[in-house]
Amino acid sequence: MVQFDNQNRLIKVKIVYYGPALGGKTTSLRFIHQQVDPERRTRLFSLNTAQDRTLFFDLMSLKLGRFREHELSLKLFTVPGQVHYNATRRAVLAGADGVVFVADSQKSKLSENVESLKNLRENLDANGIASDIPLVFQYNKQDLPDLSPIDELHGKLNRRNVPEFATTATTGRGVMEAFAAIVEQAVVVAVVHLGASESDSTKQAIRQRVRESFGGVLEARPAEAEDHTVIVHESSESVEVLDQGELIEQAVNANLQLSEMHENMESLKERFQRRSEVLEAGAGFAREVSSFRDANEVLRSLLDSSMKHLSADAGGVFLLEDGKAKEFEFQHLVRDPLLAEAPLLVKKVLERKEAAFLCAESGSAASSEEAEILVAHQFSSALIIPLVIQNMSRAFLMLYRREHRLPFGDEEIQLGVMMAQQAGASYSNISNWRELQEKNRNLEERVAERTAELRRSLIEVRELHASLEERHLELAQAHSKLAEVDRLRQDILNRVSHELRTPVSSILTAATILKEEAGDIGDELFRMVSIVHDETSKLAELVDGVLKTAEILALEELAPAQEVDTAVFLKTSLQALRSMAEAQEVGLRLRVSASAKSFHCEAQSLSLALQAVCRNAIDFSPRGGAVEILVARRVDEGADRLVIRVDDSGPGIPVEDQERVFEAFWQGGDILTAKPPGVGLGLTIARRILDLHGGRIRIGTSPAGGARVELLLPEPSSPQE
């Protein structure tokens, strides 16, 4: 039964050498140990009896590669051949995954072979092991005379027709072939039991991998005479005492545990040794790349060292430019199969910035698609290792092992990651060093250029400053002259208006009296008096408007604002315009929002502004038209405003004239042929009043196509503009 050692990440496969006493079991196991482990890195244990030093049992562990992130560990046992050790044989046979039956080929030993095989079947049943357990026969001692023919041995013993081998354990003839055969069978059964495919191709691949793991040991070397067996226990008691089955079984189990502990210690020692080798190789690579001054040398050294220390068969290094992989260098590859056929996989690995191990064997972490790619290109496993530089994958390493070779191990993956990290750090250092050198080379030149530019700029600034000072002086003089002209204009306007007001009032009074008391003076004379009266009225209105404009333009500030009732304000402001609207058959429509029933303003001046805007709206609206006035609150340009909007149904104001309408006396149109009504002061007055309120006036177009004028007043809580 397959055993798991999760702490050491081992899968243990147990092989037992069974057969009659003195048949060659111990000699076979010692020869295998000599061939597989000539450096004696694993030990062979023995427990002997006190009288005849018959081998009680032997144990040997071998490593056969990885499966599902665990290493396959092979454990070999022999059992004592004497009949009185049956309890021991049964205890050692427990949990076996395969059996090698070592038969003595001498004719005189045939009955002992048959009896021992019968005992094997009984002990398999006693341990609950299936009768079809992997089995191999060794017909040993083929170097002696008077042997049973192979056919006879086959007929008496090999009823299952399993593999059989003629062997001579003392020289090693056939021993390794029989050993390889039982290991192949047992490992195939164990791996299939753990979830691998049962297909013939999978089984063949596993068998091939087992043989590959042995390397060249199947070509047997001559047996050594020196015995390296470690004796675990030598009993001082008689054989009769060991016949007590329960005591013997306890002794066997105790010695098995002792051997297991020794094996674990050896395994731990081996792991530390491998870890030390990994660290030493990583440190050596770090020392090597730290002396490089060319980033490309770092990448080449990474590929060479990885191929060597990780025993890879093929590999390549790629650079990442704008998210795309660029080939840098290959070894034993024409193109990279995973990058060509599974680019999304490579992309995900690079995004995670962590190494990825892929294996073609069934049950590995690789998907079926990735495993098929590896198999199609005759690879057993692959490594993808990103080079993370400044927290980004800037390059990556791809390594492959050919089929029938063991996949990369944990220590090899760790070494690859360590070397990639060292390469990434060196690559970054070299890039930074080169950049620093380049900056140092250009720094003085750039400083000189910049200094010259600053000097030129300083000269230009000084010249510009002198020019601006001169221009400022000119502007100050011009402003002074304009202020004087404006003062004179305002003074003349005031004087002319006052001088005109008295005679105009007198003429208007006389014309009014003549018109009222003319009597029967004839129609023509009455028409002329009416013309004098009407034109004088217009002239008086013009003079009043000019005077009001002069007064308003001369104001620096208004009286304090007060809260006014919106309805009262509109009624008072528009009362004087209703007769004008009725005479021109223009309707006045008022709308007040529920949120604007009252507001703050200086009522007298704002009333003048509203009258000026509404008078223009009435003048420019056609007969039958309408002027709509809306008062509401809204947020305008991020501030709360009170808005008085006036829409008319006239021709509107062209966009290019919307700013000029605020100029004094500007009316647009042909002054001789198409002069608009009024004198062009209404919007000038309105704008000045809104400025004094801290508000603004805006010209636009109404939905009906006429002019839209908005008076925007700041709310008390908002900062005035």
* Per-residue confidence (pLDDT) for residue 239, from 0 to 100: 36
Query: Residue 327 phi/psi, 5° resolution?
Result: -65, 135
364 within domain boundaries = no
Evaluate whether 363 touches 205 at the Cβ level (below 8 Å): no
d(CA 533, CA 539): 10
Other CB atoms within 10 A of residue 100 CB:
28
Contact 709, 613 (CB under 8 A): yes
Please state, rounded to an integer, the average pLDDT across all residues of the chain.
79
Q: SS in 3 state form for 429-497?
A: HHHHHHHHHHHHHHHHHHHHHHHHHHHHHHHHHHHHHHHHHHHHHHHHHHHHHHHHHHHHHHHHHHHHH
Q: What is the pLDDT of residues 507-559, one digit of tens each?
A: 777 777 777 776 666 677 777 877 877 777 767 766 666 666 666 666 678 88
Per the domain annotation, does 395 fall within a domain? no
Instruction: Check residue 546 and give its pLDDT.
Output: 65
Tokens of 118: 């019968």
Burial grade of 654 (CB within 10 A; 0-12, 13-18, 19 or more): exposed
pLDDT at 704: 83
Same-domain check for residues 615 and 480: no
Residue 369 has which token pair?
A: 């698609």
Q: Crossing angle for the helix pair 410-517 and 523-554, nearest 10 degrees?
A: 140
Domain membership of residue 525 as a residue range: 463-550
Shared domain check, 224 and 80: yes
Q: Could you tell me if 191 and 248 lie in one domain?
A: yes
The token pair that represents 152 in the structure block: 């006879």
Enter the tokens of residue 246: 């329960």
Residue 55 has pLDDT above 50, yes or no: no
CA pair distance 115, 126, nearest whole angstrom: 16
What pLDDT is recorded for position 429? 85
The band of 564, judged by pLDDT with boundaries at 50, 70 and 90, is very high
Residues 539 and 592 in one domain: no
Q: How confident is the model at residue 231 (pLDDT cuts 50, 70, 90)?
A: very low
Q: What is the end-to-end Cα distance of the chain in Å, rounded? A: 92
Are residue 16 and residue 128 in the same domain, yes or no?
A: yes
Residue 353 located in a structural domain: no
List the 392-402 sheet strands across, edge first: 324-331, 314-321, 392-402, 379-389, 356-359
- Quickly state the pLDDT bin for 232 (edges 50, 70, 90): very low
Spatial distance between the Cα atoms of 470 and 51, rounded to a whole number of angstroms = 128
> Is 273 a member of any domain?
no
Window from 71-75, 299-303, 412-416 with minimum mean pLDDT: 71-75
157-161, 262-266, 385-389 — most confident range:
157-161
Q: With cut-offs at 50, 70 and 90, classify the pLDDT of residue 674.
A: very low
> Is residue 706 one of the residues assigned to a domain?
yes
Say whether pLDDT at 694 is over 80.
yes
- Give the model confidence (pLDDT) of 491-520 as tens digits: 666 666 666 667 777 777 777 777 777 666
566 is a domain residue = yes
- Paired residues of 233 in beta bridges: 47
> Looking at the predicted structure, is the pLDDT value of residue 201 above 60?
yes
**Structure token digits, residue 184:** 């192949």
Residue with tokens 């050896």: 266
How far out from the chain centre does Cα 221 lie? 57
What's the CA dihedral at 218, 220, 223, 224 to 10 degrees?
A: -80
Q: What is the CATH number of the domain that holds 486?
A: 1.10.287
> Is residue 562 in some structural domain?
yes
Whether 155 and 118 share a structural domain = yes
> Rounded to an integer, what distance in angstroms lies between the CA atom of residue 644 and that of residue 632?
7
Q: Does some domain include residue 250?
A: yes
Query: Is residue 118 domain-shared with residue 221, that is, in the same domain?
Result: yes
Same domain, 537 and 578: no
Exposed / middle / buried, residue 542 (Cβ in 10 Å: 0-12, 13-18, 19+): middle
Domain boundary among the residues 550, 580, 615 is at 550
User: Do 120 and 211 have their domain in common?
Assistant: yes
pLDDT > 80? residue 335: yes
pLDDT at 598 over 80: yes
> Using CA atoms, how far apart are residues 652 and 47, in angstroms rounded to an integer?
119
Query: Which whole number is the average pLDDT over 131-150?
Result: 93
Do residues 376 and 354 touch, judged by C-beta distance below 8 A?
A: no
Residues 618 and 573 placed together within one structural domain of the fold: yes
Which residues are CB-neighbours of 447 under 8 A, at least 6 positions away?
Answer: none
Last residue of a domain, one of 192, 227, 262: 262
- Over residues 451-472, mean pLDDT: 90
Taking 70 as the threshold, does the pLDDT of residue 56 lie above it? no
| C-alpha atoms less than 13 angstroms from C-alpha of 607 in its C-beta half-sphere | 18
User: Residue 600 — φ and ψ, nearest 5°?
Assistant: -100, 135
d(CA 611, CA 608): 5
Q: Rounded to an integer, what distance in angstroms lies between the CA atom of residue 194 and that of residue 4?
A: 11
Q: Which of 71, 94, 96 is nearest to 15 (CA)?
A: 96
Pairing relationship of beta strands 587-592 and 229-234 according to DSSP bridges: unpaired
CATH number of domain containing 686: 3.30.565.10
Residue scoring higher pLDDT (225 or 99):
99
- In terms of average pLDDT, the best of 53-57, 102-106, 182-186 is 102-106
Q: Which of 181-190, 448-457, 707-716 has the lowest mean pLDDT?
A: 181-190
- CATH number of the domain at 131, please: 3.40.50.300
C-alpha 309, offset from chain centre: 32
Q: Helix count (H) and strand count (E) of the chain?
A: 17, 21
| DSSP type of residue 622 | P
pLDDT, greater one: 247 or 82: 82
Distance CA 290, CA 206 (A): 42
Confidence at residue 719, expressed as pLDDT on a 0 to 100 scale: 42
Q: What is the pLDDT of residue 671?
A: 47
pLDDT at 372: 86
Both 606 and 649 in one domain: the answer is: yes
- Give yes or no for a contact between 133 and 96, defined as CB atoms under 8 angstroms apart: yes
Checking if the pLDDT of 586 tops 80, the result is yes
Q: Which residue has the higher pLDDT, 272 or 141?
A: 141
> Is 621 within 8 Å of 648 (Cβ atoms)?
yes
* Residue 299 token pair: 């990448």
Number of domains composing the chain: 3
Domain final residue, candidates 513, 533, 550? 550
Q: For residues 103 and 116, give the distance between their C-alpha atoms in angstroms, rounded to a whole number.
A: 9
Residue 644 and residue 530 in one domain: no
136, 181 in Cβ contact below 8 A? yes
Which of helix, strand or coil describes residue 589?
strand
The answer to whether the predicted template modeling score (pTM) of the entire model surpasses 0.75 is no
